[in-house]
């Protein structure tokens, strides 16, 4: 009897201790507003960035700067947003995140345009190349991914932080599930996304520790259907994305866009966006690092289809 009540007491204490983090994880309170604030979205000329810009406008962002290298596409996106959300002032700014002079100019233009308006910087611009790492011809693609996905993102954040600290705001970094688990052929891309996640979590801790009014969030989509880089690659090699999404799950650009808003409103440090729950796999991999050695070798049709898709993209892109 005494043993049972001791166990009950331990159970009650454990539940009480867990209640707080469980509540904050699964039913967090809304702590921030998006309406009336300002935002910058990089990589907003195509793919996921276009949806992020649309959803931010639909949430009532007052001033929105969209950037990428292709001015023509940006102008078309800006016109479309203005048509649907006339209350949002949209500015299309041509800017290459891999060029220091462009990053500085963008930060200056945004500071002038927004004044003291609390600002969200969405670091979405990114590129992906599947590589056979032993090929010397891979070097320009390796540099491009590092320059855009991580060096550009970190330096742009550095350029924006003085104004964000003054006005208050958010930084939302678009990483990837490739930054949480290995894939095939995505070696360098995956490395850049692991780096984005590490940078985001550490910068968030820095801002909180120094009691600065900037919160940092990381949004991690898995494979995205309907638009974006994975969809483009499927079309290039003529193998449908379903070959991989059967096993790996998928999401749509709108899901990532909604996750950006949710991350801001509920102050999530990180959000995974995928139709299948993948966090148990990530947890298993953290405890048993050999897990993925076996996963990619399982003699299952879905695993073979997934490997065939990745092999074909890697061969195709390595030859380009």
Contact set with ligand NAP (CB under 6 A) = 42-49, 68-70, 73, 96-98, 124-128, 148, 174, 176, 221, 223-224, 228-230
Tell me how far, at minimum, the Cβ of 166 lies from ligand NAP, in Å: 25
Looking at the Cβ atoms of 119 and 124, the one nearer to ligand NAP is: 124
108, 115 Cβ separation under 8 angstroms: no
Catalytic residue ranges = 189
The candidate with the shortest Cα–Cα distance to 214, out of 193, 197, 200, is 200
Looking at the Cβ atoms of 232 and 304, the one nearer to ligand NAP is: 232
Q: By beta-carbon distance, which residue lies closest to ligand NAP?
A: 47
Looking at the Cβ atoms of 214 and 272, the one nearer to ligand NAP is: 272
Looking at the Cβ atoms of 166 and 316, the one nearer to ligand NAP is: 316
DSSP string, 89-135: EEEEEE--TT-HHHHHHHHHHHHHHHTT--EEEEE---------TT-
b (16+ CB within 10 A) / e for 53-71: bbbbbebebebbbbbbbee
Tell me how far, at minimum, the Cβ of 312 lies from ligand NAP, in Å: 16
Looking at the Cβ atoms of 214 and 224, the one nearer to ligand NAP is: 224
Contacts of 182 (CB under 8 A, 6+ apart): 190, 292
Tell me how far, at minimum, the Cβ of 45 lies from ligand NAP, in Å: 4
Tell me how far, at minimum, the Cβ of 292 lies from ligand NAP, in Å: 18
Tell me how far, at minimum, the Cβ of 9 lies from ligand NAP, in Å: 46
Q: What is the DSSP letter of 221?
A: E
Bridge-partner residues for 215, per DSSP? 170
Residues 251, 253, 255, 261, Cα dihedral to 10°: 150
182, 150 Cβ separation under 8 angstroms: no
Dihedral pair phi/psi, residue 32, rounded to 5°: -135, 155
């Amino acid at each position: 009897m005494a043993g049972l009540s001791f166990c009950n007491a331990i159970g009650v204490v454990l539940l009480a201790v867990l209640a707080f983090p469980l509540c904050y994880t699964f039913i967090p309170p809304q702590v921030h507003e998006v309406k009336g604030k300002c935002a910058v979205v990089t990589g907003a000329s195509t793919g996921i960035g276009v949806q992020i810009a649309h959803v931010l406008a639909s949430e009532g962002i007052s001033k929105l700067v969209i950037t990428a290298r292709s001015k023509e596409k940006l102008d078309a996106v800006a016109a479309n947003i203005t048509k649907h959300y006339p209350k949002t002032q949209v500015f299309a700014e041509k800017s290459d995140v891999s060029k220091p002079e462009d990053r500085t100019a963008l930060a200056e233009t945004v500071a002038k345009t927004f004044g003291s308006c609390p600002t969200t910087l969405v670091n979405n611009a990114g590129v992906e190349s599947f590589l056979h790492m032993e090929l010397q011809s891979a070097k320009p693609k390796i540099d491009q991914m590092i320059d855009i996905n991580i060096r550009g993102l970190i330096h742009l954040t550095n350029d924006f932080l003085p104004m964000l600290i003054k006005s208050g705001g958010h930084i939302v970094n678009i990483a990837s599930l490739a930054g949480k688990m290995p894939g095939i052929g995505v070696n360098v891309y995956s490395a850049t996304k692991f780096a984005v996640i590490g940078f985001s979590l550490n910068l968030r801790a820095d801002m909180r520790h120094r009691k600065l009014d900037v919160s940092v969030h990381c949004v991690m989509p898995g494979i995205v259907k309907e638009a974006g880089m994975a969809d483009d690659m499927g079309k290039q090699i003529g193998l449908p994305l379903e070959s991989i999404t059967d096993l790996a799950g998928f999401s749509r650009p709108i899901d990532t866009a909604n996750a950006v808003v949710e991350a801001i409103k509920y102050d999530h440090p990180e959000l995974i966006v995928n139709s299948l729950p993948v966090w148990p796999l990530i947890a298993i991999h953290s405890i048993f690092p050999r897990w993925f050695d076996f996963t990619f070798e399982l003699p299952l049709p879905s695993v073979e289809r997934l490997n065939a898709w990745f092999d074909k993209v890697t061969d195709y892109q390595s030859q380009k």
